[in-house]
Amino acid sequence: MQLAFLLYKYFPYGGMQRDFRRFVEEVQKRGHHCRVYYISWQGEEIPGAELRRVPVSARSNHRRNELFSAWVSTDLAADPVDGVVGFNKMPGLDVYYAADSCYLDKAYRERGRLYRRGGRFRHFAAYEAAVFGRDSTTDILLISATEQAKFEHYYRTPAERMHMLPPGISRDRCAGADAQQRRRAKRESLDVAHGEQVLLFVGSGFIKKGLDRAIRALANVREQQPHQRIRLLVVGQDKERRFRRLAKKLGVGERVHFLGGRDDVADLLLAADCLVHPALDEAAGIVLLEALVAGLPVICTDVCGYAHHIAAAKAGMVLRSPFLQDDLNAAVLRSLDGVYRSQCRETGLAYARLTDLYSMHSTGAELIETLIARKRNAGHG
């Protein structure tokens, strides 16, 4: 089959973008041709994929999205494919991969009535409804039961169009026989002192992932235990300035290290002592499970779609909503206990051996193939 994959922006360090790449590669393995439409692309191209850049720009994201949809629609009319797979919400999709959380839920819970009268709201609500609305024919690949419930609440999406996927952890994130050796090597390369505690924050989207909360928790450790050697490693591609200012204001500027987007996350997971992920909004949170399979204790908020795995594995602490900074502060202090961290590691690794946390992309690729073939046979292609 000839399949089109749609994505506004690709960069190598985003969780959704990494899933996008792996889905395309899995679909290619099944013998299908993949055409990719995008506005901007950073990093290596996908071997064998046909890349088509969409030459649109606009002052606002929602106007840019509309121009993207129109351009792609015209191009597909002139050069048809058998099916269209989207990784952003938009009209005209046969299959949508639901990496993003429910927009309508956030708009009603976090925004006022005035916001919901604006053009931005009308656009994003309409594009979400084009996927999840009862009249849509788009099949949806879901990764979070929490988000599925929100979509069903707002859109009454028919159950037969909703398909839940298992997680898709890359096997290179798993702790192997050489885990301790890799841990020592990475800590040495980072000049981590013997006995120093390393907190790890991973995520492109510092505001959404709660980096300010993590920095405040670090400052609390320095206040409560001034002799404790501890640092926070920040991995991700985003604007750093406001967070550097906050760290400096709280007296921990020299303890927060911004590493940018990285290709060595697997080793950083082994080198750290605790993953801190106090997200405000997180449809899934693949890094939670990457930490779990690496044997790294996790502190996260219950809004994360994959937080239930951390709770079930007893692999760390899940902070209840509404978020309280004191709860995070207490959790980080508890993570300094080596016996507690060892328990989290053992139970987490046992859970990782017994639970399917790995087959998302192969399962999803098979579903894409099946669903689009069904639509073609039914005359919806």
The Cα–Cα gap between 334 and 356 comes to 29
Q: Are 87 and 66 in contact (CB under 8 A)?
A: no
- Same domain for 330 and 196: yes
pTM of the model: 0.93
**CA of residue 101 relative to chain centroid, distance:** 10
- Same domain for 159 and 46: yes
- Same domain for 151 and 23: yes
pLDDT < 50 positions in the chain: 381
- Same domain for 14 and 127: yes
Measuring CA to CA, which residue among 197, 184, 200 is closest to residue 290? 200
Tokens 């429910």 belong to residue: 102
- Same domain for 132 and 41: yes
The Cα–Cα gap between 15 and 290 comes to 11
Residue 333 belongs to domain spanning: 171-354
Cβ neighbours for 250, distance < 8 A, ≥ 6 positions apart: 215, 216, 218, 219
Query: Which CB contacts under 8 angstroms, 24+ apart, belong to 221-226?
Result: 221/329, 221/332, 221/333, 221/336, 222/251, 222/252, 222/255, 224/329, 224/333, 225/333, 225/336
- Same domain for 134 and 190: no
What is the pLDDT at residue 379?
Answer: 77
What is the pLDDT at residue 381?
Answer: 44
- Same domain for 335 and 187: yes
What's the mean pLDDT when you consider all of the chain?
A: 97
- Same domain for 348 and 238: yes
Per-residue pLDDT reduced to its tens digit, 6-32: 999 999 998 999 999 999 999 999 999
What is the pLDDT at residue 172?
Answer: 85
- Same domain for 337 and 205: yes
If phi > 0 it is left, if psi is from -120 to 50 it is alpha, else beta; for residue 314 that is left
* Order of strands across the sheet that contains 316-319: 256-260, 230-235, 197-202, 274-277, 298-301, 316-319
Query: Into how many domains does the chain fold?
Result: 2
- Same domain for 287 and 193: yes
315 burial via Cβ count (<10 Å: 0-12, 13-18, 19+): buried
What is the pLDDT at residue 232?
Answer: 98
Residue 283: give its domain's CATH number.
3.40.50.2000
- Same domain for 218 and 146: no
Query: Which CB contacts under 8 angstroms, 24+ apart, belong to 177-182?
Result: 179/270, 179/294, 179/295, 182/267, 182/270, 182/271
- Same domain for 334 and 289: yes
